[in-house]
Amino acid sequence: MIRLEDLSKVFPAQDEAAVDDLSLEIYEGEIVVLVGPSGCGKTTTMKMINRIIEPTSGRIFLQGEDVTRVNPDNLRRRIGYVIQQIGLFPHLTIADNIATVPKMLGWDKERTSKRVDELLETVGIDLSYRDRYPKELSGGQRQRIGVARAMAADPPIMLMDEPFGAVDPITRDRLQDEFLRLQQEIRKTIVFVTHDIDEAIKMGDRIAILKQQSKIAQYDTPERILTDPADEFVQDFIGSGPSIKRLSLSRISDIETADWPVARLTDSHDEVREKMRSTSRDHVLLLDEQEKPGRWVGKEEIQHDDTPLEESGRPAVAIVEANANLYDTLDTMITSYKGSAIIVDEGGRYKGVVDFDTVLEAINTMRPHEQDRHMSPPEEEQEQPREGTERDLQDGGEGR
């Protein structure tokens, strides 16, 4: 989709190249995060893709087309661009801001206006904001408008330079989630620059960790970077707790749930007791009519007691959605009653239960095989399947 070939940039009056002979391939529909310490040339690299910074040498290909020498203005209209400061035009309304590129491309009024409404809806901004000005928006809203503006003409490629850098941590987290959800639908090819490895791990389908002069230390999926850092530089850059960070990359839906007895709140006491006898577990989960988790009931509580089921045992808490990651699930489990979390679907209906054993098992399968490490050459090592996430299966063919 995007191919950079031997790209270099030497700024005037500087001896060292800011970017030195970088080659990188970016695949369609992926978020590729360029991450590295300050001054490593990641932003320069990104800005050479839409030629805000003209490369000194090397070539840039978009969708197979060499764009190193084409008209940069036309090129940029095909590429969405979001920067940290967002740079909304303060003298134009939100609608006019979003319509910037469509207007340049000569769309008619009706089409532009429809697109603006559509985009406002996509990024979750009320249509009543159409005719307001940027200064009337909060930081998070501005950021959303910035993304909407970049997507206005539906460019296949988007460049994002620390787009969530200027908002507070809570808003940032929400915006990241929103954006990932959005990306599920729009499937753009995105080059994302950040200095924050946690953001890189969260956002990236693939991460390029860059050293000085944009030299690639490792270009890989977040999973593999965390489980198998290429060198000491990468290791240092990831920082502490790579295994814990790794957990945030696996969804609960990727692992086997534990087998757990369930009954209904509408069932009779005897039915529940029968259920209890047939299992080795000491608790049964009771569901309500909508299949939503209602209460946990223990062996002793049900044995001789005829308290209505709605009031016996404990209310079912520690509920996570199936698309939650292992990190959050583990966190929920730690604070839960029996060290287990109930998994529900988007509608809150029961899907299964995970406990520490199932999570530990899942962690085991993703750990690099330490004993193999010294015996097999690294190439082979990397070929070994470590886990069965969908993301990794996709990588298998084109990744390396």
- List contacts with other proteins (CB under 8 A): 50, 52, 72-78, 81, 83-93, 100-101, 104, 133-135, 146, 149-150, 159
Angle at alpha carbon of residue 161, lines to 135 and 121, rounded to 5°: 55
**Cα 330 to chain centroid, rounded:** 19
How far apart, in whole angstroms, are the C-alpha atoms of residue 155 and residue 176?
A: 20
Within the chain, what is the greatest distance between any pair of CA atoms? 86
Query: DSSP letter string over 70-118?
Result: S-HHHHHHTEEEE-TT----TTS-HHHHHTHHHHHTT--HHHHHHHHHH
Q: What is the CA radius of gyration of the chain?
A: 26
Alpha helices for the chain (secondary structure H): 42-49, 72-77, 94-98, 100-104, 109-122, 139-151, 169-186, 197-203, 222-227, 232-238, 242-247, 269-277, 299-303, 326-334, 356-366, 370-373, 378-383, 390-398
Burial class (CB in 10 A: 0-12, 13-18, 19+), 50: buried
**Cα 200 to chain centroid, rounded:** 8
Count other C-beta atoms under 10 Å from residue 224's C-beta.
21
